[in-house]
Amino acid sequence: MNIKEFDRQNLPLLRTSMQAALAPIEAQFGIKIHVGNASFSADNAKFKVDLSTIGDGGVVNSRERSSFEALAELYDLDPKMLDQSILYGGTEYVVTGLNTRRSKYPVIARRVRDGKSFCLPGDGVKTAWAKKQQPFVINNPNVFAKA
């Protein structure tokens, strides 16, 4: 297949092929390579390529993960939240990082149900984390009383 010009249909195919072609390099050097978004014109295309080391337990040390570890307290977030699940809006997420360039939705989280990543508001995540940390207490002892 020869590409005569770049467009929205052939760039995803190229991204997939590039990611597959980089898999041997990932294995050889023990790193994670992610081929990201592209900017393009009819004659030229430029892909963003991120390389990350892999830490203990196979965890990818992404920029967002490193930002969360270093800067969580500046956003009034608990550093222990990283890789922990929260219940936000009735959906379970796992906190995976922090995007410091987003002021309104800086927390990056992966939805447990399907693995899709989302940006969530810091205050909402902080509230969800606080609720998770509180023990379950029954205020009304008659709730479980038999009639």
Query: For residue 126, what is the domain's CATH number?
Result: 2.30.30
- At residue 144 the predicted structure's pLDDT band, cuts being 50, 70 and 90, is low
Q: Which helix (H) or strand (E) holds 98?
A: strand 91-98
Same domain, 72 and 106: yes
> Is 98 within 8 Å of 106 (Cβ atoms)?
yes
Phi, psi of 130 (to 5 degrees): -65, -40
Residue 147 lies in a domain: no
In this prediction, residue 47 carries a pLDDT of: 96
What residue numbers bound the domain in which 88 lies? 63-133
- At residue 44 the predicted structure's pLDDT band, cuts being 50, 70 and 90, is very high
Same domain, 85 and 123: yes
